[in-house]
Chains A and B, each alone.
Chain A
């Protein structure tokens, strides 16, 4: 279970990278490969968000053994320090998961809200929130962070995590952040994060403006108060 939690945390890890601000991303990208030493990693804090409310769009592609093509979905992530993380898939399905400080819930379009109580979801929620608020300690605890030509490379520290996960590559460009996760058992996941924007505050109205296709997802923020 511990391994599962950590693997799950990995999934979450690259989502945090989607929360980088454009300015931070640009700063990282202007560094040429010659400026990046293979042994001296840039400060991780440069990749982590500094604002307390932000949102971004993403496309996720899961490579599932047995499927002809990667399973692709797109959506939007919204975060505030006070409430938590709202991860919303918009296409091809409308599905939202909210990780609040104390409780978590999921909502699939047309279905009732489901409270998430499992240890896995709790662990994901804690880690995702820590990461979205720019808590680099969480990352450095589990990974060696190294600068490579294409950007950053994260390799697991513990032997047990290595059993499940080989490496996470993060490439930054002006338009997007590309995250490749290679798992030990022949599968991988790619994530492209675009349109990262900082917010001053996040009201329910603002949330509904950000998620017009699935405004019900915003009601999940109320679980942050539970």
Chain B
């Protein structure tokens, strides 16, 4: 009766969840599926103020949107022609990217300067105005007016002497030369020693670089563009091969940008998903076919896994608004864990309840034991996955939620629907080999238990030997998240050598109580940095600070004050009469007006080089490439108001902290589960079964250390799974001592499926996935061995 009520409750819960998920699926479908390959979500949040984090994010957004095409050709003319053709192609098509345009920035910049025409002078102009006589200044202005190479980006009517025009030109030119972030440069062809000629085109994505679908669109469009280019010009690949045969046009296109790293990661994840998905599915099908001599027992595992993965996908997408590819990779490995419930149910229910299924016998003690064991097994797995959720890393939280929902729904499906499938099943067991193996294993275990010294010696050897022989090394670098291909690294290095890029992860953050104070600190910081040959880029490359603006205004008194040289020049140069009056009154009305760079760099329009925070004004100074981080730390040390931030180092130290916390959490999880077991069985001695996964964890770590594998957060996180899976097995073994062989057969069967999934995971090209897979593979192998030991002890 109790079991019937329980099953009805389970079915009700399953139906409720399923219907809710269907509604959720409709919502997700409306919003659009979003699968991202952002590995940054594996990195912990930096311990920075929200203001600074937002500002740094604005730089990441700019970087993510940027892609570059490097054209390598066997002649300078071809490199240039192809670059122009590509620009025209991009301009004329409706693509997922466009030419990087700084038109808006350019217009806004000039507009800002025009509002304060007397506040900005270059150092040379300031010295010139102070040093020269009014007559000499007028002569210079005249030359400027007539010279044929004089370009006006600030109109004569606002700036008759041309000094503001010079300022704008100088600033824009310096920015074009020094920064690719705000580059306004033309196509320059550069040549290398091997005879290749390069041109570089910067593009701006209008889609999300980390969205897998968007990546596919961009790749298709780039490939189409390259095909059209080759078709138009009739060029062949491999520009180096052209040396000595100049009549053949040869060129190669290389694409650079974060999108291509993300796309490589996504492709790697895709490979993993298909390998793990197909591999574990095939393995499971083969195993079931071997054991049950038919595929009908596959229906329950398949239904439970399909329901589990579907619900996990929808709920995860609803909660996070997107799904990381890593969650799906680990989701694929969930097959190996979720199938355990169906196998245990199928195997045990049929073996214990009998081939002629009798609903009355379902109330038997055996079936109740099975339900209890399954419940306890689910709870311990959930505890393991919950620990992943505590990691503080978004990607791991997604994996945790995905796995918990997947396992819970699969578990509910097995219990709720299992009876329907088992009733119709005609079980023909072909598990003689499995039984023989289990019996052999039990005999071996019994022998080993009798000679306890052997067990003690072996375990001690592994644990102590592992720690003693090798030095434990840890790795917490976020660079280990993903190792790009050698070709990708070469392309990025080439693109960086052609553009004047800044360090992507290093910044100086300057703070002060006012904009003026920040500019003063920046000025001192620049001087100090220059002595160490460190070149910076920041807000002062665009605008002078308040103090310099006041100085410039005062210097302009000589030009536009009463009887100023500029006014005399207007009188004598043929300017309209009202020009003099306009400039003179404009100068007077501009007194005490200071341009605020904070307003210029307002959020959501430009990378925030300067911004007003809750308690202070902040400026971010970018650092040109090729600087040794140590020298940067030294520079920052001299200033109270300057902080050096290296996001990679900061992430690494946060990962170290997380790893150390995870080790502690793992220990706590063991203690918590031990208490849970003691309470469940009302015997403190029962909690000793926790020792099996505990020893498995120690042995796994020992093996990793023996083979000089640096331990990362992801190895530790995998140990939580070793704990969860290990507890699954020992609970079944402990719960059913009367039938050790059939229990162990079920455990071995489900263990083999898990080993298959995680074994395949360990082959992944992504280091974090491989770390996870390898650790679980080792740990679960030891778990299975431990179960044999426990079963033999219980049976004796």
- Give the interface of A toward B (CB within 8 A): 1-8, 11, 15, 60, 62, 64-69, 71, 73, 87, 89, 92-93, 95, 97, 106, 108, 116, 118-121, 123-124, 137, 141, 157-160, 163
CB nearest neighbor in B for A73: B146
- Please determine whether A8 and B143 come into contact, CB atoms closer than 8 angstroms: no
Q: Is B177 an interface residue (CB 8 A)?
A: yes
Measured CA separation A159–B77 after assembly (Å): 22
Q: Is B575 an interface residue (CB 8 A)?
A: yes
- Please determine whether A93 and B575 come into contact, CB atoms closer than 8 angstroms: no
Which residue of A66, A68, A121 is within 8 Å of B149 (Cβ)? A121
Residues of A within 8 A of B147 (CB): 89, 95, 97, 106
Known contacts being A1-B176, A1-B184, A65-B157, is A93 close to B574, with CB within 8 Å? no
- Please determine whether B148 and A67 come into contact, CB atoms closer than 8 angstroms: no
Residues of A within 8 A of B80 (CB): 141
Measured CA separation A127–B179 after assembly (Å): 24
- A-B pairs, top 10 by smallest CB distance, nearest first, are A1-B184, A66-B157, A2-B186, A1-B176, A73-B146, A5-B186, A66-B156, A64-B156, A108-B143, A69-B574
Q: List 10 A-B contacts (CB under 8 A).
A: A2-B184, A4-B151, A4-B153, A68-B574, A71-B146, A71-B573, A116-B149, A118-B173, A120-B173, A124-B149
Which residue of B81, B87, B151 is within 8 Å of A8 (Cβ)? B151
CB nearest neighbor in B for A1: B184
Residues of B within 8 A of A141 (CB): 80-81, 84
Q: Is B366 an interface residue (CB 8 A)?
A: no
Residues of A within 8 A of B106 (CB): 3
Measured CA separation A6–B151 after assembly (Å): 11
Dominant secondary structure at the A interface: mixed
Shortest CB-to-CB span from B106 to chain A, Å, is 8
Q: Is B477 an interface residue (CB 8 A)?
A: no
Residues of A within 8 A of B152 (CB): 64
- Please determine whether A65 and B155 come into contact, CB atoms closer than 8 angstroms: yes
Measured CA separation A70–B88 after assembly (Å): 36
CB nearest neighbor in A for B573: A67
- Please determine whether A89 and B157 come into contact, CB atoms closer than 8 angstroms: no
- Please determine whether A119 and B574 come into contact, CB atoms closer than 8 angstroms: no
- Please determine whether A93 and B173 come into contact, CB atoms closer than 8 angstroms: no
- Please determine whether A119 and B579 come into contact, CB atoms closer than 8 angstroms: no
Which residue of B81, B186, B187, B576 is within 8 Å of A67 (Cβ)? B576
CB nearest neighbor in B for A92: B146
Interface centre among A69, A93, A163 (most CB of B within 10 A): A93
Q: Is B91 an interface residue (CB 8 A)?
A: yes
Measured CA separation A8–B169 after assembly (Å): 13
Residues of A within 8 A of B187 (CB): 2
Known contacts being A5-B186, A6-B186, A119-B177, is A11 close to B149, with CB within 8 Å? yes
List B543-577 residues whose CB lies under 8 Å from chain A. 573-576
CB nearest neighbor in A for B170: A118
Q: Is B529 an interface residue (CB 8 A)?
A: no
- Please determine whether B149 and A8 come into contact, CB atoms closer than 8 angstroms: yes
List B152-179 residues whose CB lies under 8 Å from chain A. 152-153, 155-157, 160, 169, 172-173, 176-177
Measured CA separation A119–B177 after assembly (Å): 8
CB nearest neighbor in A for B578: A66
Which residue of A7, A68, A87 is within 8 Å of B576 (Cβ)? A68
- How many residues in B have their beta carbons less than 8 Å from beta carbons of A? 37
Shortest CB-to-CB span from A223 to chain B, Å, is 15
Residues of B within 8 A of A71 (CB): 145-146, 573-574
Q: Is B142 an interface residue (CB 8 A)?
A: yes
Measured CA separation A210–B157 after assembly (Å): 37
Residues of B within 8 A of A87 (CB): 148
Q: Is B653 an interface residue (CB 8 A)?
A: no
CB nearest neighbor in B for A8: B151
Residues of A within 8 A of B656 (CB): none
- Please determine whether B146 and A137 come into contact, CB atoms closer than 8 angstroms: no
Measured CA separation A1–B576 after assembly (Å): 30
Interface centre among A4, A97, A120, A157 (most CB of B within 10 A): A4
Measured CA separation A49–B149 after assembly (Å): 22
Q: Is B185 an interface residue (CB 8 A)?
A: yes
- Please determine whether A2 and B185 come into contact, CB atoms closer than 8 angstroms: yes
Measured CA separation A137–B575 after assembly (Å): 40
Shortest CB-to-CB span from A123 to chain B, Å, is 7
Measured CA separation A123–B142 after assembly (Å): 24
Measured CA separation A89–B147 after assembly (Å): 8
Shortest CB-to-CB span from A41 to chain B, Å, is 20
CB nearest neighbor in B for A125: B149
Known contacts being A1-B173, A1-B186, A120-B169, is A67 close to B156, with CB within 8 Å? yes
- Please determine whether A67 and B575 come into contact, CB atoms closer than 8 angstroms: yes
- Please determine whether B91 and A158 come into contact, CB atoms closer than 8 angstroms: yes
CB nearest neighbor in B for A123: B186
CB nearest neighbor in B for A75: B148
Residues of B within 8 A of A163 (CB): 103
Interface string of B168-205 (1 = CB under 8 A from A): 01001100110000001111000000000000000000
Measured CA separation A171–B143 after assembly (Å): 28
Measured CA separation A137–B84 after assembly (Å): 13
Shortest CB-to-CB span from B691 to chain A, Å, is 70
CB nearest neighbor in B for A118: B173
- Please determine whether A66 and B579 come into contact, CB atoms closer than 8 angstroms: yes
Measured CA separation A5–B149 after assembly (Å): 11
Shortest CB-to-CB span from A212 to chain B, Å, is 20
- Please determine whether A158 and B186 come into contact, CB atoms closer than 8 angstroms: no
Shortest CB-to-CB span from A98 to chain B, Å, is 11
Which residue of A1, A2, A89, A159 is within 8 Å of B146 (Cβ)? A89
- Please determine whether A1 and B575 come into contact, CB atoms closer than 8 angstroms: no
Known contacts being A69-B574, A159-B91, is A119 close to B149, with CB within 8 Å? no
List B106-156 residues whose CB lies under 8 Å from chain A. 106, 142-143, 145-149, 151-153, 155-156
Interface string of B562-602 (1 = CB under 8 A from A): 00000000000111100100000000000000000000000
CB nearest neighbor in B for A163: B103
Known contacts being A68-B574, A119-B176, is A7 close to B146, with CB within 8 Å? no
Known contacts being A8-B151, A120-B151, A120-B169, is A66 close to B145, with CB within 8 Å? no
Measured CA separation A7–B169 after assembly (Å): 14
Measured CA separation A141–B82 after assembly (Å): 11
- Please determine whether B151 and A7 come into contact, CB atoms closer than 8 angstroms: yes
- With A66-B157, A66-B579 already in contact, 7 other A-B pairs whose C-beta atoms are closer than 8 Å: A4-B151, A6-B186, A67-B573, A89-B146, A89-B148, A97-B149, A106-B149
Measured CA separation A141–B77 after assembly (Å): 11
Measured CA separation A113–B587 after assembly (Å): 33
Residues of B within 8 A of A120 (CB): 149, 151, 169, 173
Residues of B within 8 A of A3 (CB): 106
Measured CA separation A8–B149 after assembly (Å): 7
Shortest CB-to-CB span from A136 to chain B, Å, is 13
Interface centre among A68, A97, A123, A137 (most CB of B within 10 A): A68
Measured CA separation A97–B157 after assembly (Å): 26
- Please determine whether B172 and A1 come into contact, CB atoms closer than 8 angstroms: yes
Measured CA separation A67–B88 after assembly (Å): 38
Measured CA separation A119–B500 after assembly (Å): 15
